[in-house]
């Protein structure tokens, strides 16, 4: 059975996840992280994807972005894959794929869900036990969004800009968002919608997506375990 195309609409933010093949490392040292981040900056600019948040983990990548047109996310990810994987394979004298199949992507509601997705992404190293706070992890957008450390690859979303009238006010308000831990409902919800490549947001947002795409936007419920015969 042919796979349905991803839900993909211009101007709607997307949470993108790409994992290393068989969960193997796709970054071995700082040079690899820096190379991927540079490829991300160049490809996002070339293909019209505004990057709002990201984190580069040892064996996977999370991105929050808004494509300017349909198909832009796929073109950007393909461009990064060609250039980064080629350089990675040459550096470590390896062949074959680096990524675990196609990347996953979920549409994200621009209301409170978008800033929650920001937090989910930038808190990844904390949940993994790699650092105590998101400020302690170098390879993410947190230093830019929360501390004002310039990252030329970041384009702020309107929801982020609405946090304050100036950069200092926005950064302070953004840091305050991280004072409260993410709830399991938000974590599980974003993960499920990304895995199934659906639309994460309010019922109103999901209905809008369904009208625009003529496809179901919500996640499928888990199947109940089969009853054991008596």
Question: Which DSSP string do the residues of 167-183 spell out, in sequence order?
Answer: HHHHHHHHHHHTTSPPP
Per-residue pLDDT of the chain (230 residues; tens, 9 = 90+): 456 778 999 999 999 999 999 889 999 999 999 999 999 999 999 999 999 999 999 999 999 999 999 999 999 999 999 999 999 999 999 998 899 989 999 999 999 999 999 999 999 999 999 999 999 999 999 999 999 999 999 999 999 999 999 999 999 999 999 999 899 999 999 999 999 999 999 999 999 999 999 999 999 876 444 444 33
For the beta carbon of residue 4, count every other beta carbon within 10 angstroms: 10
For residue 90, tell me if it sits in a domain: yes
For residue 49, tell me if it sits in a domain: yes
CATH code of the domain containing 126? 3.30.70.1290
Domain that residue 44 falls in: 14-213
How many folded domains does the chain comprise? 1
For residue 9, tell me if it sits in a domain: no
For residue 224, tell me if it sits in a domain: no
Of 120, 94, 110, nearest to 32 (Cα)?
94
For residue 194, tell me if it sits in a domain: yes
pTM (two decimals): 0.94
For residue 220, tell me if it sits in a domain: no
For residue 4, tell me if it sits in a domain: no
For residue 226, tell me if it sits in a domain: no
């Amino acid at each position: 059975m042919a796979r349905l195309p991803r839900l993909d609409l211009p101007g709607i933010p997307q949470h993108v996840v790409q994992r290393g093949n068989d969960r193997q490392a796709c970054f071995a040292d700082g040079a690899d992280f820096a190379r991927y981040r540079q490829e991300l900056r160049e490809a996002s600019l070339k293909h019209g994807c505004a990057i709002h948040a990201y984190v580069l983990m040892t064996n996977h990548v999370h991105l929050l972005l808004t494509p300017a047109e349909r198909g832009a996310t796929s073109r950007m990810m393909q461009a990064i894959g060609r250039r980064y994987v080629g350089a990675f394979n040459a550096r470590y004298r390896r062949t074959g794929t680096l990524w675990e199949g196609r990347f996953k992507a979920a549409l994200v509601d621009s209301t409170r869900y978008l800033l929650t997705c920001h937090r989910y992404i930038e808190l990844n190293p904390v949940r993994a036990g790699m650092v105590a706070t998101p400020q302690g992890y170098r390879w993410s957008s947190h230093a830019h969004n929360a501390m004002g450390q310039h990252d030329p690859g970041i384009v702020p979303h309107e929801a982020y800009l609405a946090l304050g009238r100036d950069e200092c006010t926005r950064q302070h308000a953004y840091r305050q968002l991280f004072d409260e831990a993410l709830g399991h409902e938000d974590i599980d919800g974003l993960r499920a919608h990304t895995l199934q490549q659906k639309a994460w947001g309010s019922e109103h947002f999901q209905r809008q997506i369904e009208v625009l795409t003529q496809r179901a936007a919500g996640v499928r419920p888990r199947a109940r375990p089969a009853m054991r015969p008596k």
